[in-house]
C-alpha cells in the first residue's frame, strides 16, 4: 500500500496509530457497502473510475463526502489500483444550503413557489400516467405581511 501524506493521516486516524496494521479495510470506511462494489465493477469493466461521489466515515469521527477517481495500474508486475480522493464535504454542504435557499421561503421556512410548482408537476405526471382523476384547489392569501408582523 503506497499512500501520500494526506491519505496516511486519514487512514492512520481511521485505525488509531501511525501504522497500517490497524487501518480498517475500505469496506469499513465506506458508508454504503454498494459503493465499493460499484467501484470494483467499474474498475473491472472500464479499467477506471472517474469522479465517483461517496460518503465515508472513520471510527469515532464524523463522516465525509468524498470524490474518488481510480485507475488500474501495474506495479512491478502486480495489478494495483491508483486512487485519488478529494474531500468534497464543504461543497456538499454548500449545495444543500443553495438547494434549501432555492426551494424555501426564507421568512417562513415553508416551500416556496418554485418548489410548489415542481412538486405539482411531478404529481401531475404521476396522475397522468395512472389516469386517475384529480381535483385541485389554490388559495391566494392576501395580507400576509400583517400576519408576519411587517407593515
List pLDDT tens digits, range 43-97: 999 999 999 999 887 667 778 898 999 999 998 898 888 888 888 999 999 999 9
The percentage of the chain sitting over the pLDDT mark of 90, rounded to a whole number, equals 26
Which residues pair with residue 67 across a beta bridge? 53, 86
Instruction: For residue 138, name the pLDDT band (cuts at 50, 70, 90).
Output: confident
Which is more confident, 36 or 46? Answer: 46
Would you state the pLDDT for residue 51? 95
Residue 94 CA to residue 114 CA, distance in Å, equals 19
Find the helix packing angle between 113-130 and 89-103, rounded to 10°: 80
Average pLDDT of the residues in 11-18: 53
Would you state the pLDDT for residue 73? 92
Residue 104 CA to residue 90 CA, distance in Å, equals 21
All cell numbers assigned to 118:
415542481
Residue 127 CA to residue 133 CA, distance in Å, equals 7
Residue 107 CA to residue 110 CA, distance in Å, equals 8
Amino acid at each position: 500500500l503506497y499512500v501520500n501524506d494526506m491519505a496516511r493521516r486519514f487512514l492512520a486516524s481511521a485505525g488509531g496509530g501511525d501504522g497500517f496494521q490497524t487501518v480498517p479495510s475500505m469496506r469499513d470506511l465506506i458508508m454504503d457497502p454498494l459503493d465499493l462494489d460499484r467501484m470494483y465493477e467499474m474498475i473491472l469493466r472500464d479499467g477506471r473510475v472517474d469522479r465517483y461521489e461517496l460518503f465515508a466515515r472513520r471510527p469515532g469521527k464524523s463522516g465525509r463526502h468524498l470524490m474518488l477517481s481510480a485507475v488500474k495500474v501495474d506495479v512491478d508486475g502486480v495489478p494495483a489500483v491508483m486512487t485519488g480522493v478529494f474531500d468534497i464535504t464543504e461543497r456538499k454542504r454548500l449545495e444543500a444550503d443553495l438547494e434549501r435557499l432555492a426551494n424555501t421561503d426564507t421568512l417562513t421556512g415553508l416551500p416556496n413557489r418554485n418548489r410548489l410548482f415542481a412538486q405539482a408537476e411531478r404529481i401531475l405526471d404521476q396522475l397522468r400516467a395512472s389516469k386517475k382523476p384529480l381535483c385541485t384547489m389554490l388559495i391566494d392569501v392576501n395580507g400576509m405581511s400583517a400576519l408576519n408582523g411587517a407593515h
